Chain A
Amino acid sequence: MLLLISATLLLLLLPTLLGWLGEEYLISLASRILIYALVAVSLDLMLGFGGMVSLGHAAFFGIGAYVVAIFTHHSFDGSPVLSWPFVLPGLDGALVLWPLAILVSALLAAIIGALSLRTSGMHFIMITLAFAQMLFFFFVSLEAYGGDDGLSLFARNRFPGLDLSDDTHFYYLCLAVLGIFLLIAYRLVSSRFGMVIRGSRDNEKRMQALGFPTFRYKLACFVIAGAAAGLAGALIANHTEYVSPGLMHWTHSGVILVMVLLGGSGTLFGPVLGAATFLILEEVLAIYTEHWMLYLGPALILVALFARHGIYGILTGRERNNV
């Protein structure tokens, strides 16, 4: 608890601290960490709590980002997104656009989830991977929005009362979004819904014998995770002011999965730690060697073999705790 409070304080004061140190540019990295933490926590809802190993989570992240980028692009152009069967104008107000990004990601997650959850285990991993790759190729072939080269945003979205082009404002918004989602996720996993999800992770047949329609519960979990990833995508599009199909590539899904496992799956703060560790490590190692992946790769193998509960497990010395 003490650790939690001090971490929250540190995050709240971070922009001021960095201002004193004269390292304001690090704010942008901090926002990036918060965004990846959000998508990692959403994956962990499925993976750690629901036992669904998805290797296609970046698809929903990318879809959220593309929804924002496409609407913002048209809003700047003054051209409609759709002119048939009805006219759909461009948008750049975050309060409308971001919920739309969430909605589109959730819908897609419902379709992909309904198909993928017909299977489990190894099949599930490969099928989520394949569907994500399908979307990747779809956006690569979408010449109208840059295809392989991606699409630049002309400016960040408008948000009432905040100036998102100011990195500090943007940082606090990301922090608030992550905080709220962690709270929702906490309530979710400790609720009856969370119990059923965790139950079907450990023994699905028994849960079914008890009368729970586990498919529906797992699908709901899949959709919630996809929706949150879509929100994270909306944030990352605003953060980098650029989107590309690379956001959906399966290796990007792999990176998100690595963050979850590095931090500790089946916990809520583990993925946050994992995202921070991964991104900071990437920055630091890149200073010393351009071949940092040569060291990260074997490190991941060691984590897989010996550190089952990730950094969170090492820090707290606990086995997988359920919240």
Chain B
Amino acid sequence: MLLVFEQLLNGLQLGVTLFLLSAGLTLIFGIMQVINLAHGSFYMIGAYVAATVTAYTGSFLLGLAVALPVTALIGMLVEMSMLRRLYHKEHVDQVLATFGLIMFFNELTRIIWGRQPLFMDVPAWLSGSIELIPGIPYPTYRLAVIGVGLLVALFLYLMFAYTRIGMQIRAGASNREMAAALGINIKRLYTLVFGLGTLLAGLAGVMAGPILAVEAGMGESILILTFVVIVIGGIGSVRGAFVGALLVGMVDTLGRAFLPLFFRLVFPAATADGAAASIASMLIYLLMAAILIWRPRGLLPAHS
């Protein structure tokens, strides 16, 4: 029971991290119709900038405060200088260009920060643990990550539902020609959406910094999980991204934790652990395949 509760929280934490990444990316896919492989690079940039600033100043909050605008700014610069020219090209060209972007950013971070991974400390005021349920301590920092993720989800919901810019983004997502005809500055809207997406990716990177090692290429492994989330949720749908992210986070974490236990009931221990590890690592992809057969456009498609 103790373990179940802890793993549920771990799954929730992975889920909200994936949500931060996929919320922005699903909008970029949905609104601009551009396939962007370089989203993980902004996650990496966020983590590196925050780690550096935190190491110099000793303040995690200052690291966060610098990393977010820097990531968003780099994102908007990339959009204005390069991505903008790709909107009307074929998907292959977008794949090629953004793959080139990944190579560039990875190598740049290797030049600036070296090949050794950086490690970020959990800030003192978030270290230690809290007993949510008496007798079950859970690290405060991870709880903070969950809290921030849920707050961002709430913020995005309020923004899309009640603000003018949110309305414009929704309009752009469902019909960009019509939105442009009604006088929305589509060019500026695209830049803003891209900036928002990279800001959220940077935030995810900063939050992951103290949990994982900060290193070149850290964005590539999480990018694929983000894609799985987007496919499950439906391209262009932020609500879908939320549901998909929590689903993927839970299934992945719980699968890795409990599949070996279930398998041990049936098979001898050695075979059970090997088989369970293999299947647990494939579980979310099998989930994706199943949802794809059931609903090819995702669970909550943006415009059905």
Contact = CB atoms under 8 A, between A and B. Distances in A.
B222 to A, nearest CB: 11
A125 B95 contact: yes
Interface string A109-128: 00000010011011101110
Given A129-B227, A141-B281, A301-B100, A261 B292 contact: no
A304 B94 contact: yes
A250 B278 contact: no
A178 interface: no
Contacts of B37: 254
B227 A126 contact: yes
B146 to A, nearest CB: 25
Interface stretch (A68-76, A92-100, A292-300): A292-300
B189 interface: no
B96 interface: yes
Contacts of B274: 141-144
Interface stretch (A10-18, A131-139, A152-160, A209-217): A131-139
Contact of B228 (A118, A130, A258, A305): A130
Contacts of A130: 224, 227-228, 231, 285, 288
Interface stretch (B103-111, B125-133, B174-182, B193-201): B103-111
A48 B187 CA distance: 31
Given A296-B103, A305-B86, A134 B96 contact: no
25 contacts: A53-B95, A118-B292, A118-B293, A122-B29, A122-B235, A127-B231, A127-B292, A130-B224, A130-B227, A130-B231, A133-B285, A141-B281, A144-B274, A251-B102, A254-B37, A254-B95, A257-B99, A261-B92, A261-B96, A291-B111, A294-B104, A297-B100, A301-B96, A304-B97, A305-B86
B91 interface: yes
A192 to B, nearest CB: 26
Nearest to A290: B110
Interface string A296-316: 111111011100100000000
Contacts of B188: none
A304 B228 CA distance: 26
Given A125-B95, A126-B228, 14 more contacts: A53-B92, A53-B95, A119-B296, A122-B235, A126-B230, A134-B285, A134-B286, A143-B274, A144-B274, A257-B95, A261-B92, A261-B96, A304-B89, A304-B93
A265 B92 contact: yes
A53 B37 CA distance: 14
Interface residues of B, number: 47
A40 interface: no
A47 B96 CA distance: 13
Given A129-B227, A304-B86, A304-B89, A294 B97 contact: no
B293 A301 contact: no
A299 B282 contact: no
A294 B108 contact: yes
B79 interface: no
A127 B286 CA distance: 11
A175 interface: no
B91 A125 contact: yes
A307 to B, nearest CB: 10
A304 B37 CA distance: 14
B82 interface: yes
A115 B92 contact: no
Secondary structure of the B contact surface, majority rule: helix
A137 B35 contact: no
B85 interface: yes
A305 B285 contact: no
A18 B1 CA distance: 68
Interface in B121-141: none
A137 B92 CA distance: 25
A140 interface: yes
A234 interface: no
Given A293-B107, A304-B93, A299 B230 contact: no
A93 B280 CA distance: 35
B41 to A, nearest CB: 10
Nearest to B276: A141
A137 B100 contact: no
B119 to A, nearest CB: 21
Nearest to A131: B285
A303 B97 CA distance: 8
B277 interface: yes
B101 interface: yes
A55 interface: yes
B176 to A, nearest CB: 15
Q: Considering residues B37, B86, B106, which has the most beta carbons from chain A within 10 angstroms of its beta carbon?
A: B37
B12 to A, nearest CB: 22
Contacts of A140: 281
A257 to B, nearest CB: 7
Contacts of B99: 254, 257-258, 300
B35 A122 contact: yes
B156 interface: no
A47 B92 CA distance: 9
Contacts of A127: 231, 288, 292
A301 B277 contact: no
Contacts of B85: 305
Contacts of A47: 92
A119 B288 CA distance: 13
A261 B101 CA distance: 16
Given A130-B224, A133-B224, A115 B292 contact: yes
A55 B95 contact: yes
Contacts of B105: 297
A129 B39 CA distance: 15
B296 A293 contact: no
